[in-house]
């Protein structure tokens, strides 16, 4: 079969989006300081499927929580592992999320409860699209808010690794005009996914070198330089920092590889990782069960990542999000259905953690959204705007979130 650019993009382990020619960076990178490409970093974690934030960060002081969840509620704090881990006397962590408690105690982890998208859709597809585009209720938005963030940054085009997603394709959040890279496995990052000496790689590089299209030529050349640069970092030999124990599976492996990229000083500014499986309509479980297992993997992955990046955490912020929450009442199959507001976590060196932010609306029936869901009191764009403005230094937030202006920041940064 003839080798073409289209087949390269479709079948290769590398997906480079954006046609603007990228400048040469290898010489600078070889002698760069850790701040050469802008040391502020943002890592976005997306929980696909609508996580049950009420069972992850539990309002254990709310009697209504226990009335409405007779079989799946997490028991109030007590000695032992089979109960809520108290945080502040009102909220607590699911016991499976114990790996995050030290980060809370160190005041590096902040929690924003009753947060999410103001749009009332209960469609997974639409809700994810709105949160990734950053324009709730608008389906015509072509690019994602994280891509727009990269596009307006002054460091535009410094490195093809500025915006990275772990996976086989770019998420909606990183689609747009700014170059971004999707990597399924950095150990196989390259043409065809395997090391092939001068086989396919040589063929493709020659093809791009002969291209009469200067834009494609530039992009292709820098892409191959990026491949060489990453391979020079010997990712297959990577050993996480002492104490960093990643969970098995795609999520843990993805976070480990993001840590590798950050520590290799390749100019990563924003990174994206997602984890699915949160749609628990049936047999969600309480202290044990489906949610517990997934929450444990989630918390272990985040804790391992934070340990692994070490001092880089001083300039790194991690933010979590999910398309919507779950119903306050459990359903007839011991699960929960599609709800409205949810919980977001913000972790970082500059974060003023050890506190739950946002206005808590309460769970009494008179306070529920549409009589069934946690009411939204914090727009997710307020949380993200604070991360971008106060951490990343983003100035033109109106371009990142068109039609939206945060009235007040929560001041977790």
Across the chain, mean pLDDT equals 85
Whether pLDDT at 101 is above 60: yes
Pairing of strands 57-58, 14-17: unpaired
Question: First and final CA of the chain: distance in angstroms?
Answer: 54
Question: In this predicted structure, what is the pLDDT of residue 190?
Answer: 57
Segment holding 256, helix H or strand E: helix 250-263
Residue 392 domain-assigned (yes or no): yes
Q: How many residues does the chain have?
A: 413
Report yes or no: 252 and 304 within 8 Å, Cβ to Cβ.
yes
Residue 410 domain-assigned (yes or no): no
Report yes or no: 375 and 359 within 8 Å, Cβ to Cβ.
no
Helix runs in 118-243, H state only? 124-133, 145-152, 200-209, 214-232
Whether pLDDT at 360 is above 80: yes
- The domain in which residue 119 lies consists of 5-400
Give how far Cα 169 sits from Cα of 16, 128, 223, 344, 386, Å.
9, 16, 16, 25, 28
Residue 405 domain-assigned (yes or no): no
Is pLDDT larger for residue 158 or for residue 120?
120
Q: Which two tokens stand for residue 229?
A: 């640069």
Question: In this predicted structure, what is the pLDDT of residue 398?
Answer: 97
* CA atoms of 136 and 149, how far apart (whole Å): 17
Residue 267 domain-assigned (yes or no): yes
Dihedral sign for Cα 224, 227, 230, 231, please: negative
Whether pLDDT at 346 is above 90: yes
**Domain count along the chain:** 1
Residue 351 domain-assigned (yes or no): yes
Residue 409 domain-assigned (yes or no): no
Closest Cα partner for 104 from 344, 351, 403? 351
Report yes or no: 368 and 327 within 8 Å, Cβ to Cβ.
no
Whether pLDDT at 205 is above 60: no
- pLDDT, tens only, 252-286: 999 999 999 999 988 899 999 999 999 999 999 99
Closest Cα partner for 262 from 231, 308, 320, 226? 308
DSSP string, 32-70: --TTTT-S-EEEEEEETT---HHHHEE-TT-HHHHHH-T
Q: How much is the average pLDDT of 66-83?
A: 94
Residue 318: beta bridge partners? 43, 347
CATH number at residue 297: 3.40.720
Q: How much is the average pLDDT of 186-209?
A: 50
- Classify burial at 367, counting beta carbons within 10 Å of its beta carbon; exposed 0-12, middle 13-18, buried 19 or more: middle
Pick the range with the lowest mean pLDDT from 158-167, 228-237, 340-349, 375-384.
228-237
Q: How many CB atoms lie within 10 A of CB 211?
A: 16
Question: In this predicted structure, what is the pLDDT of residue 371?
Answer: 97
Is pLDDT larger for residue 30 or for residue 102?
102
* CA atoms of 168 and 160, how far apart (whole Å): 17
Reduced to 3 states (helix: H, G, I; strand: E, B; else coil), residue 362 is coil
Question: In this predicted structure, what is the pLDDT of residue 237?
Answer: 82
Whether pLDDT at 6 is above 90: no
Residue 74 banded pLDDT, cuts 50, 70, 90? very high
Residue 80 banded pLDDT, cuts 50, 70, 90? confident
Q: How much is the average pLDDT of 408-413?
A: 98
Report yes or no: 107 and 352 within 8 Å, Cβ to Cβ.
yes
Residue 33 domain-assigned (yes or no): yes
Question: In this predicted structure, what is the pLDDT of residue 301?
Answer: 99
Closest Cα partner for 387 from 354, 366, 410? 410
Residue 413 domain-assigned (yes or no): no
């Amino acid at each position: 079969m003839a080798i073409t650019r289209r087949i390269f993009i479709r079948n290769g382990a590398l997906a480079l989006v954006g046609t603007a020619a990228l400048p040469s960076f290898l010489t600078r990178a070889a002698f760069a300081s850790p701040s050469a490409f802008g040391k502020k970093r943002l890592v976005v974690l997306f929980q696909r499927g609508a996580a049950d934030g009420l069972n992850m960060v539990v309002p254990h002081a709310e009697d209504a929580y226990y009335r409405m969840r007779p079989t799946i509620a997490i028991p109030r704090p007590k000695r032992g592992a089979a109960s809520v881990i108290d945080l502040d006397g009102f909220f607590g962590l699911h016991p499976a999320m114990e790996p995050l408690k030290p980060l809370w105690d160190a005041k590096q982890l902040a929690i924003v409860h009753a947060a999410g998208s103001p749009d009332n859709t209960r469609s997974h597809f639409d809700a994810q699209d709105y949160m990734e585009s950053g324009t709730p209720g608008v389906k015509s938005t072509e690019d994602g808010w994280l891509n727009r963030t990269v596009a307006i940054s002054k460091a535009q085009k410094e490195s093809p690794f500025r915006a990275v997603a772990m996976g086989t394709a770019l998420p909606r959040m990183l689609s747009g005009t700014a170059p971004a890279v999707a990597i399924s496995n950095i150990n196989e990052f390259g043409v065809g996914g395997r090391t092939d000496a001068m086989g396919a790689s040589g063929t493709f590089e020659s093809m791009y070198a002969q291209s009469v299209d200067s834009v494609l030529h530039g992009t292709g050349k820098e892409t191959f330089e990026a491949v060489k640069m990453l391979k020079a970092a010997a990712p297959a030999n990577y050993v996480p920092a002492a104490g960093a124990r990643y969970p098995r599976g795609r999520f843990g492996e993805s976070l480990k590889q993001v840590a590798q990229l950050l520590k290799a000083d390749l100019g990563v500014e924003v990174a994206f990782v997602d984890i699915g499986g949160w749609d628990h309509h049936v047999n969600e479980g309480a202290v044990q069960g489906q949610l517990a297992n997934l929450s444990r993997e989630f918390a272990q992955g985040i804790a391992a990542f934070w340990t692994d990046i070490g001092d880089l955490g001083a300039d790194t912020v991690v933010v979590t999000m999910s398309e919507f929450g779950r119903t306050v009442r459990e359903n007839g199959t011991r699960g929960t259905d599609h709800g409205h507001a949810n919980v977001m976590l913000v972790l970082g060196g500059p974060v003023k953690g050890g506190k739950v932010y946002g206005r808590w609306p309460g769970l009494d029936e008179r306070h529920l959204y549409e009589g069934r869901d946690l009411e939204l009191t914090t727009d997710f764009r307020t949380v993200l705007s604070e991360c971008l403005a106060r951490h990343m230094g983003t100035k033109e937030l109106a371009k990142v979130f068109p039609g939206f202006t945060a009235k007040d920041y929560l001041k977790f940064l």
